[in-house]
Structure 1
Amino acid sequence: MKTYENIADLQPLVGEVIGTSEWLALDQARINTFADATGDHQWIHVDVERAKNGPFGAPIAHGFLTLSLLPAFTHSAYRIRNSSTGVNYGLDKVRFPAPVPVDSLLRAQFKLMSYEALENGGAQFKVEMMVERQGGSKPVCIAESILRRFP
């Protein structure tokens, strides 16, 4: 995990990777829980036996489940010591280039795309989150997250 003392420490890092998360396991229980929370019980996610004969050979995670792991990935990738809070301001360009088979290990890399100081001493920045699957040949999720952090 990378640690930054202050929000402003990120400003000169535009264009650079500011952190990489730990690996996170995505098992069937988590997929089922997400299905229950969202009402998306499509068989490719929750019907293990049927999914074995489906297009992916196993159940796959919901794309939005992968995206919803952004806070967990962020928590293990980087932190800003002198920041009291952060809020999600939105997302740009969300894509799911590859499926996430059940029992995959995922991690995310965070690249700072832009930084804008706010009048209250905080900052708004855009971070490209690229989620990879261990052993996968391409990312499983790429999203531009717009965040606001406050002192």
Structure 2
Amino acid sequence: MTSFANPAALLGSEGTQLGHSEWVEVTQERINQFADATGDHQWIHVDPVKAADGPFGKTVAHGYLTLSLANLFLPQVLQVESFSMGVNYGCEKVRFPAPVPVGSRLRGVGEVVSAEEVKGGVQVVVRMTIEVEGGERPACVVDTISRFFP
């Protein structure tokens, strides 16, 4: 984890490697909960019997489930010590290069892409690469946009 004393300390941090998060296992229960929350009950996600004969040999996590884990991983790699409010402002350049089979372990690796002043605060873009343990390609690469206000 990389820590910054306050939002202004983020300015000039482009290229900073933030480190990596803890590993998180993607269980069938987590996949099913995401399916229930989003209404996406496609068989490749929620039917282990049918998925065993499918293209991945088992169920796989939704791409958007994998993306949502960026929100879990980001505060594990980036900490701003003194601020009154932080908000998720958006995402850019989301990609899903590899599937996430049930039982996989994922972690996030962060890098500061940009940091700039915005009205009342600082906007930082962090490229979050979500790795699959033992995988050749990441499961997701996303540029997250956060705003921190002093």
Query: Higher mean Cα deviation, 128-137 or 12-21?
Result: 12-21
Counterpart CA distance in 2 for 1:136 and 1:73 is: 18
1:42-61 per-residue CA deviation (whole Å, 9 max, x = no partner) reads 00000011111110011000
1:36-87 per-residue CA deviation (whole Å, 9 max, x = no partner) reads 0000000000001111111001100000001111121112222111022211
1:89-141 per-residue CA deviation (whole Å, 9 max, x = no partner) reads 11111000000000111001111111111342x20111111100001001110
Shift of 1:25: 1.1
Residue identity (%): 50
**Unmatched 5+ stretches in structure 1:** none
Counterpart CA distance in 2 for 1:19 and 1:10 is: 15
Structure 1 residue aligned with 2:129: 130
- The two structures have a TM-score, normalised by structure 1, of 0.94
Q: How does 1:3-82 map to 2 (within 5 A)?
A: 3-82=3-82
Shift of 1:26: 0.9
Contact 1:20–1:78, Cα closer than 8 Å, also in 2: no
- The two structures have a TM-score, normalised by structure 2, of 0.95
What letter corresponds to residue 142 of structure 1 in structure 2?
Answer: V
Structure 2 residue aligned with 1:139: 138
**Unmatched 5+ stretches in structure 2:** none
- When the two chains are superposed, the root-mean-square deviation of aligned CA atoms in Å is 1.2
Contact 1:22–1:77, Cα closer than 8 Å, also in 2: no
Structure 1 residue ranges, 4+ long, deviating more than 4 angstroms after superposition:
none
